[in-house]
Chains A and B, each alone.
Chain A
Amino acid sequence: MSLKQWFFGSERPGGEDSPEGGSQSAKNTGSSEDQEQSQFLTPEQLGIKRPEDDPPKEEKPEPKPAGEQKADAPKAMNSDKPPEDEKKPEAAPRPPPAEIEVEHTQILTKEEMLGLKSADEDRKKEEAAKDSSNQPEKSDPTDQPEKKEPEKPAAPAPPPAPLKAATWKTEPVKERWCPPETAKEFPELDRDDYQDHIYVERIVSEQWRVIGGSRRGRKQAFDNRFREDAMAFGHNDHATVLVVADGAGSSKYSRVGSHVAVHETVAHFLKLLKEADAEKLKDKESRSKLLKEFVTKAVQAGRGKVVNIAEKSKLSPKEFRATLLTVVHYHRDGEELLLSNQVGDGAISLLLKDKTLKKFGDADSGAFSGEVSCFLTDSEGQKKAETVNEFDELDKLDALFLCSDGIEDAFYPIDKKALDIYKQWMTGVDKPLDHFKDQPKQPGVFDQEAAGWALAQWLEFEKRGENDDRTVLLMHRRPPSVQF
């Protein structure tokens, strides 16, 4: 079974099963979020409300070319200027104490908008700006006066109130997914099937179903970056292995690190299992010991492959930093066993039948948000792989999930808030949770046949300040016995 087969579940309705050939997936790649959605779309049928900031995304690319001509620095910021400009004139009617610096402020802003990358560029652009300010929304009056006619009555900018806050938009990524240094050595990694959002689902055994979704963050989309989270799972007759990784925002090629790590960990685990001594797996005692060893080896193999790729590409492993969460479910002769390992942040949560939650990993995070002390590719990563947690009261377990910090942070502390998550998955969403700006309405994820798609919809929730990539990989008992 190839990596892709694990990754792209065969039961998904989205039609992305054949990443190379599927016309659906081809359309998907690089498309704006909107198109993406409209593709698996049945939102109307389901009464799902679309996130409000999506529509503008489609229009954004248009103003952009203008920004490019003008400023020659098509940075993310640049392209969001036109919309802001439009708004400022609106603000003009409320002219409070229109005084000199106020006017200046407005001017400064305009100039800044034209490129704040470097002061040098800026100067050149100031001239350029004047020429190109004949754009419709560009308020010429403010651009030209330039410290000369300070007492302009329009004085558009004064107090902050009239300023309209900017919103998100989606930018396609311009570079190749795989860095050229790596593509030379590992042509198989020079993939063109990258997608902003993916989802999977598969029934893995009589009682269990796996559902997963990974969504490119609004921040990454705004910043012309790829989704840096990755997920993969695989299974055989006895075992299911689930892996989620979050590529570090500060590492250039963390998308490659996370992708390679999840797939290699899954592949290696299943390989070890295949080659394992069957007798040892039959005995309960030796089974647990052996499987723990396999988890460690699999995580180390995932790490090893990323480090190797970095070295062969003559790049620092630091550029490929990622976290890694691994869960293995093993069942044999009516006995079940659950193992986990965690390197970095994110969370693994278990839902027990009595509706209690259990945290099932060793999260690692610093005093300030977003800090992780050890990534998989760091040298301590090798050691972190050795801590394997075990849970054997599987008769009490109803569902579990692994998630990246894009989910964990939005539902912090997850050892409590995970209950809200499970509840929504089981009973659906009628209104957003407290502190959430919006959540698409939907029936319960677990109730739906197209559960992967439903989970992808759920991942669309909007919460202020939470715009990172989001990834959830879950496994639930069919039918669930917990009642909310």
Chain B
Amino acid sequence: MSIRRLPVYILADCSGSMNGAPIESVKSGIRALHSELMGDPSAVESAYLSVITFDSNAQQVVPLTEITQFNPPDITAGGTTAFGAALKLLMECVDREVRKTSEEEKGDWKPLIFIFTDGAPTDRWDENAAAMKTNRPGNVIAVACGDAADPEILKQVTETVLVMKEMSPEAFKQFFKWVSASIKQTSQKIGASPVSPDEGVALPPPPPEIIIHP
């Protein structure tokens, strides 16, 4: 019997428009996230991290890995925004990596999925977005960064859409800080089960840089 994990997927837009300061902020944000989670025993025991990036293609740069084994990836920006491909890959990864409760095994906790993008998709995305809404692979939080990103598109993927107007290093820093607070809060909650499945997750309030898109 294996341990039950809290799978956390981070879908990061690495298209050309992210080049420079934004991608550096994402990289250091992921590092900060990791070291923050190392300081929380619930997260250390339960949370597993995966990073999926998308530019002209989508790739899972870090498979679902436990916190203590996680190596923050080196990622680069360039290319277009294969948002649809990223959603498809995400669903495949969740399917493959996340265990459901069975006769023999207690399932993983419901995954937490963070998606952020700074531009409009350049591929077919609507079918995959619709599939995300029906399949509900986890609790999905999508963030539209900067002016070019369309929160309405993200609304097709999940109810929980946030907008980060500014793409400054500070804003990214606050974003990742909030992500780690969300993971911690979730991994603490799960230790004190049971919960009702219709409740979804309660996340901490986002920082002022990030507003909730109604």
Contact = CB atoms under 8 A, between A and B. Distances in A.
Given A118-B207, A167-B41, A250-B199, A369 B36 contact: no
A80 interface: yes
A456 B177 CA distance: 39
B38 A102 contact: no
Interface in B182-210: 184, 188-197, 199, 202, 204-205, 207-209
A368 B108 contact: yes
B123 interface: no
Given A160-B38, A367-B107, A465 B192 contact: no
Given A105-B28, A116-B180, A160-B72, 11 more contacts: A77-B184, A116-B177, A119-B208, A219-B188, A321-B196, A367-B101, A370-B190, A370-B194, A370-B195, A435-B1, A467-B45
19 contacts: A80-B41, A81-B39, A105-B35, A112-B32, A116-B36, A116-B180, A119-B177, A120-B208, A159-B71, A160-B35, A163-B38, A164-B38, A165-B44, A166-B40, A369-B101, A369-B190, A370-B193, A370-B194, A373-B196
Contacts of B1: 412, 417, 435
Nearest to B196: A372
Contacts of B114: none
A-B pairs, top 7 by smallest CB distance, nearest first, are: A249-B192, A219-B191, A119-B207, A370-B193, A108-B32, A105-B31, A372-B194
A469 interface: yes
A109 B196 contact: no
Contact of A222 (B4, B35, B41, B71): B41
B174 A119 contact: yes
B108 to A, nearest CB: 6
B165 interface: no
A340 B204 CA distance: 40
A127 to B, nearest CB: 16
B194 A323 contact: yes
B41 A160 contact: no
Tell me whether chain A's interface is mostly helix, strand or loop, or mixed. Answer: loop
B193 A468 contact: yes
Contacts of B4: 369, 409, 465
Nearest to B181: A116
A453 interface: no
A120 to B, nearest CB: 7
Contacts of B193: 246, 248-249, 345, 369-372, 405, 409, 468
B7 to A, nearest CB: 10
Interface in A97-122: 101-102, 104-106, 108-109, 112-113, 116-120, 122
Contacts of A108: 28-29, 31-32, 35, 173, 176-177
Interface residues of A, number: 68
A344 interface: yes
A222 B184 CA distance: 12
Interface in A446-484: 463-469
Given A165-B68, A250-B199, A468-B193, A222 B188 contact: yes
Nearest to B193: A370
Contacts of B209: 119
B41 A166 contact: yes
B105 A412 contact: yes
A350 B186 CA distance: 34
Interface of B: 1-5, 24, 27-29, 31-32, 34-36, 38-42, 44-46, 67-72, 100-101, 103-110, 173-174, 176-178, 180-181, 184, 188-197, 199, 202, 204-205, 207-209
Given A101-B24, A217-B191, A413 B104 contact: yes
Contacts of A371: 110, 193-197
B51 to A, nearest CB: 13
A228 interface: yes
Contacts of B39: 77, 80-81, 84, 109, 113, 166
A223 B192 CA distance: 10
B5 A465 contact: yes
Nearest to B207: A119
Nearest to B175: A119
A220 B42 CA distance: 11
Nearest to B47: A465
Nearest to A119: B207
Contacts of A366: 101, 197
Nearest to B201: A250
Nearest to A219: B191
Contacts of B180: 112, 116
B25 to A, nearest CB: 9
A108 B45 CA distance: 23
A342 B190 CA distance: 22
Nearest to A53: B41
A262 interface: no
* Most chain A CB atoms below 10 A, which of B1, B178, B205: B1
Contact of A165 (B38, B190, B191): B38
A365 interface: yes
A483 B106 CA distance: 29
A375 interface: yes
Contacts of A163: 34-35, 38, 68
Interface in A216-234: 217-220, 222-223, 225, 228
A467 B6 CA distance: 14
A467 B107 contact: no
Contacts of A84: 38-39
A160 B36 contact: no
Contact of A77 (B3, B5, B40): B40
A413 B45 CA distance: 20
B63 to A, nearest CB: 15
A208 interface: no
A267 interface: no
A165 B67 CA distance: 9
A419 to B, nearest CB: 14
B43 to A, nearest CB: 8
A7 B40 CA distance: 35
Interface string A115-150: 011111010000000000000000000000000000
A474 B77 CA distance: 60
A410 to B, nearest CB: 9
Contacts of B177: 108, 112, 116, 119, 122
Interface string A31-68: 00000000000000000000000000000000000000
